[in-house]
Every structure is written in C-alpha cells, then in structure tokens.
C-alpha cells in the first residue's frame, strides 16, 4: 500500500530545498560530489586576522571578472583592513567591489541558486549571512541568420539560447518604455528563466495575467524542449493544431507584440512564442510586410490554396475513382482505367501506401545527417516514384495526386500547422474511402467544427473570420491591404489602443 501511494500520490515540493542555516559547511555539503565547485580562502589586504572565503562554480563564473572585480579589490584595498566587521560588510556591499550588483543572502537556498546562475559568494568568519555577486560567463552562440524562416528582405537576426540576448534584441527593435518584461523561474531541477513580454496599454491585461498564472502553476522537473511549455500552457492534447505561434526572428516577434499579442521567451530555447494563437498567424511570414501588398496578397492566397490542396486531393481522388467515376472527364477516366489495369491493388490501398511512403522518406531525410539525408531522399524518390510505377505497384495518377498533396504541404510557413494538416489528410482519405464525396464532406465538416471549438487564452482560433459579438474585426486575412490603410490592430483583442496609425 505504501509503495502504491509513493507512485500514485502527489508530487510535493520540498521547501526549503536545503534545510539548515546558511554556513560555509552547509554550502559545501549541498555541492558535495560536484567537481566544478571551488572555493578560495584569502586575507583582506594581508590582514591575517581577517579572512574571507570565495565560493563559485567553474564554468559558470567568468575568471576575468572574478579576478579583476572581486579578488583584486579584496587584496589591494587598504581600507578593508581598517574598518570594523559591520562596516566591512557594508563597504563590500555598497561600493568597495567593482561589480554591478551585490546582494546580501541569509538562506542557503538563495546562495545555492545564485552560484548556479553564475555568481560568487563571499563568506566571513563569525557571520550568518553571505554576499553574492553575479560574475556569469555569458557564453552563448553568436547571433546568426534564422534557419527555419529565411530572411529574403528584412532583418537577418535570429534568437539564440540566451534569454538576456533575446530580450536585448527585442529592446533594440522596440525602444518603447511601454515594453514590459516579467520574469519567472520554471522547473524544479532546470530552474529555467522564462520571460513574459508585452506592450503596456496595447496587450490585453487578461491575457497577460492568464499567462503568468499558468506559468506559476507549471510544476515540472525541467524545461528542456518547446513542448514543456506549449503543451502545459495551452490545451494541446485536444488538437494537433498549434495554439501558440513561434518564431526565430526578433522582427516578427516584435510585430506580434505591436498587434497586441503577448510574447514568451525561455532561457535555453532559441524561439519566441506569441499568444493568443489564431489560425491566420500560421499563414503569415515575416516578409509579408516587406513586399508590395499585391505580391504579398497573392502569396498569402497561394498558401491558403495549398492548405486546401494538401487536405483534399488524396481523399478527392479516392472518392472520384472509387465511388463517383461519372464525375471524371471521359478522356481522363479512360487514361486512369488504362493505367490501372495492371495494378493489383485497390485505389484506397495505393493512396494510403503512397502517403505513408512519402512520410517515411520525409522523416528519414530529416533525421539523418545532411549529405546522407539528401542521398536517402533521392534514392527513395527514385524507388517510390519511377520504380513503383514501372513495376505496376501503383498507378501514375496516384503518384501524381500524392506528390501534389505533399508538395503543397511544404508551402505552409509553420511546420507545426503543416504537421497537423498531414494528420488530417490521412483521416480525410480514410473517410473518402468509406463514404466517397459524402464521407469527404463529413470530414471537412468535422474539421471546421473542430477548429471552431478551439480557443487560445480565451480567443477563438478562427477569430480572423469570426469574432465575438460586438468585437471589431481586424483587416482581411486572405489578403494584405496597403500598409497606409491598415489602421487597426489585427485580431479580437480587448485593448484600449486598437488604432496603430493616424
């Protein structure tokens, strides 16, 4: 019975994490078995009666800062050996050390957390508190171009794994003092810094408070992947469609903040999220406002058309060939029948096998290293395409239909949204194989019903097409108007500042 309670019972948080008073001995016990924990004992300006112990973690603290800003003033400042114990601590805290910050700590948990974040701790004999000074290494990947969102005409910056570097890039794009950044620590073991960003007076305060509350309630061991935030902050188990838009580009992130959305940045993850997520976000790119409005509108219409094609074509082919051949033009029907005479499998089996083979080749090309992945993709295309047709395993018409649907799926700017379309493509193909055009229509009705029932932080997923009663509509979603005519912020947001230009 006790074992079952241990497995199925609650997940209590241990507070404090390290019991006992703050002391050098307890700190060493907390980092027992840690090879990177280091300490150094030294005299204050050669005074053998006054000793200070400096503790830090190798690799987390920067040696040059520690030597120049902390150790050198401790050993070379003669005033430190001429004051009392109480005055000494005050001098070090308020100006004797060349550091941006100095914090007095009186609990063991605070000192442990500061050391993990890159601070050093100063312990003095006879005191029950310590002084921590941040000297982090700040080692990070340099800012480069975004891989998933190529910048053809615009900024070429990309988020990196350092949350402070990311917030600095956002500040450079949005220099408004209304940009607020609120910070929380998420994860018992990872203790990941997560920042909530929004423009005060533009973002919906309810959305900001909801996001902060959900982050505060997020009690997991670590935040090491994007799903650790996405699947906990939104009801992601209800739908394969993404409810939080993400981007690698600071300029697109700032565009979302200007629209009234709330941003999210996590330390260690080179992405930025924008909430609430609506379906129109996943058809927009960072280049939509860089090109002429006619070109951008045409490209946006092509993306919506490609989403329709990748969903409909496999199921429509199955329905027409299997149940409604009279709807096919005569010449095309005769060509399909002639090509299918030597194929031993049914149309449904052909389409499903080709769709599955297409997914397998795609996954193999993504998971393998670059040169090997390219070779596998080429080899798989030759085998599945040319060889399968010549061996009369599949008909050419099936191969063309599946290829059109697959290529159209790649036109989606959001890979998460494209993956959801791939799942529904299989479902619509199965429904078409059961009920023909009626089954396909029922599948589409179920898809629209499913999308209409989704919400992201209280905003309908289809908000660009249907907002709440009395809510002002934004701009058209299927096209982009000329920028001087886009007077209102997009989406259904409760904000007092709906207008973005005169």
303 & 371 share domain? yes
Residue 489 lies in a domain: no
Residues 196, 241, single domain; the answer is yes
Higher-pLDDT residue of 497 and 105 is: 105
Q: Give the CA dihedral 90, 92, 96, 98, nearest 10 degrees.
A: -140
User: Rounded mean pLDDT of 164-191?
Assistant: 92
Model confidence pLDDT, tens digit, residues 342-396: 888 888 988 998 898 888 888 877 777 766 666 666 667 666 677 777 778 888 8
Task: Identify whether 191 is part of a domain.
Answer: yes
**Residues 270 and 303 both lie in one domain:** no
Q: Residue 2: inside a domain, yes or no?
A: no
CB 169, CB 159: distance < 8 Å: yes
- Indicate the pLDDT class of residue 122, thresholds 50, 70 and 90: very high
Whether 230 and 264 share a structural domain: yes
- This prediction has a pTM of 0.86
CB 60 within 8 A of CB 117: yes
Q: Give the CA-trace dihedral at 208, 209, 210, 212, to 10 degrees.
A: 90
Instruction: Please choose, from the candidates 320, 282, 248, 256, the residue with its C-alpha nearest in 3D space to the C-alpha of residue 409.
Output: 282
Q: Summarize the confidence of residues 109-131 as an average pLDDT.
A: 91
C-alpha count within 13 angstroms, C-beta hemisphere, residue 192: 27
**Distance between the two ends of the chain, CA-based, in angstroms?**
69
287 lies in some domain: no
Grade residue 112 by pLDDT with cuts at 50, 70 and 90: very high
Give which of 235, 241, 233 is closest to 263, Cα–Cα: 233
- Indicate the number of domains in the chain: 3
Condensed to tens digits (0 to 9), the pLDDT of residues 295-330 reads 999 999 999 999 999 999 999 999 999 999 888 888
Specify whether 344 is located in the same domain as 410: yes
Determine the structural domain holding residue 447 and report its residue range.
293-456
- Same structural domain, 372 and 407: yes
pLDDT tens for residues 87-101?
Answer: 888 888 888 888 889
Position 222 pLDDT exceeds 80:
yes
Same domain (yes/no): 300, 430 = yes
Residues 117 and 170 grouped into a single domain = no
Provide the pLDDT for residue 383. Answer: 67
Interatomic CA distance for residues 192 and 159, integer angstroms: 17
Q: What is the 3-state secondary structure (H, E, C) of 419-431?
A: HHHHHHHHHHHHH
The number of helix segments (H) and strand segments (E) in the chain equals 17, 12
Q: What average pLDDT score do residues 41-53 get?
A: 82
319 with 427, same domain: the answer is: yes
pLDDT exceeds 60 at position 255: yes
pLDDT on residue 10:
65
Domain stops at, among 248, 277, 306: 277
For residue 175, being part of any structural domain is answered with yes
Q: What is the pLDDT of residues 3-12, one digit of tens each?
A: 444 445 566 7
Residue 497: per-residue pLDDT: 78
Residues 441-499 pLDDT 10s: 999 999 999 999 998 888 888 887 776 544 555 666 788 888 888 887 775 566 767 77
Verify that 272 and 297 share a domain, yes or no.
Answer: no
Q: Evaluate if residue 187 carries a pLDDT over 70.
A: yes
User: Any alpha helices (H) in 41-144, and if so which ranges?
Assistant: 63-65, 72-76, 85-94, 108-116
* pLDDT higher than threshold 80 for residue 236: no
Percent share of the chain, pLDDT over 90? 43
- Residues 249 and 341 placed together within one structural domain of the fold: no
Q: Does residue 235 fall inside a structural domain? A: yes
> How high does pLDDT run on average in the chain?
86
> Could you tell me if residue 38 is inside a domain?
yes
Q: How large is the average pLDDT for residues 10-18?
A: 75
Same domain flag for 272 and 322: no
Classify residue 142: in a domain, yes or no: no
Average pLDDT over residues 52-67: 92
Per-residue pLDDT band for 155 (boundaries 50, 70, 90) equals confident
Q: Is the pLDDT of residue 240 over 70?
A: yes
């Amino acid at each position: 019975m006790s074992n079952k309670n241990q497995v199925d019972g609650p997940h209590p948080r241990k507070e404090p994490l390290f019991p006992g008073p703050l002391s050098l001995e307890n700190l060493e016990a907390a980092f027992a078995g840690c090879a990177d924990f280091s300490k150094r004992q030294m005299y204050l300006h050669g005074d053998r009666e006054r000793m200070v112990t400096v503790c830090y973690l190798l690799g987390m603290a920067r040696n040059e800062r520690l030597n120049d800003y902390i150790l050198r003033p401790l050993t070379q400042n003669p005033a430190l050996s001429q004051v009392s114990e109480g005055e000494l601590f005050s001098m070090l805290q308020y100006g004797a050390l060349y550091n941006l910050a100095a914090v007095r700590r009186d609990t063991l948990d605070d000192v442990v957390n500061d050391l993990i974040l890159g601070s050093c701790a100063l312990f003095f004999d006879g005191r029950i508190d310590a002084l921590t000074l941040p000297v982090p290494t700040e080692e990070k990947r340099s800012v480069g171009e975004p891989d998933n969102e190529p910048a053809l005409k615009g900024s070429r910056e990309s988020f990196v794994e350092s949350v402070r570097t990311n917030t600095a890039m956002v500040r450079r794009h949005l220099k408004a003092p209304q940009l607020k950044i609120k910070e929380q620590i998420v994860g018992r073991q990872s203790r990941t810094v997560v920042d909530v960003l929004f423009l005060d007076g533009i973002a919906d305060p309810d959305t900001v408070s909801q996001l902060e509350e959900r982050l505060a309630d997020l009690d997991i061991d670590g935040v090491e992947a994007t799903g650790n935030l996405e699947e906990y902050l939104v009801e992601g188990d209800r739908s394969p469609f993404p409810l939080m838009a993400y981007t690698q580009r600071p300029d697109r992130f700032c565009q979302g903040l200007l629209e009234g959305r709330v941003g999210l940045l996590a330390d260690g993850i080179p992405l930025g999220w924008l909430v609430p997520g609506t379906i129109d976000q996943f058809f927009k790119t960072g280049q939509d406002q860089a090109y002429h409005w006619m070109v951008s509108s045409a490209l946006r219409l092509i993306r919506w058309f490609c989403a329709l094609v990748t969903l409909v074509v496999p199921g429509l082919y199955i329905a027409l060939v299997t149940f409604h051949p009279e709807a096919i033009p005569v010449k095309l029907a005769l060509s399909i029948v002639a090509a299918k005479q030597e194929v031993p499998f049914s149309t449904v089996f052909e389409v499903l096998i080709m769709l599955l083979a297409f997914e397998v080749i795609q996954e193999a090309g993504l998971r393998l290293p670059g040169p090997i992945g390219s070779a596998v993709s080429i080899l798989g295309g030759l085998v599945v395409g040319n060889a399968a047709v010549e061996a009369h395993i599949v008909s050419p018409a099936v191969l063309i239909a599946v290829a059109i649907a697959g290529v159209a799926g790649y036109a989606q700017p959001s890979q998460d949204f494209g993956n959801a379309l791939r799942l529904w493509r299989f479902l619509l193909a199965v429904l078409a194989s059961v009920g023909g055009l009626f089954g396909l229509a029922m599948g589409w009705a179920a898809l629209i019903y499913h999308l209409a029932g989704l919400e992201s932080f209280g905003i309908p997923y289809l908000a660009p097409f249907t907002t709440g009663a009395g809510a002002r509509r934004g701009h058209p979603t299927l096209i982009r108007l000329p920028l001087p005519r886009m007077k209102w912020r997009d989406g259904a947001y409760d904000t007092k500042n709906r207008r973005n230009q005169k």
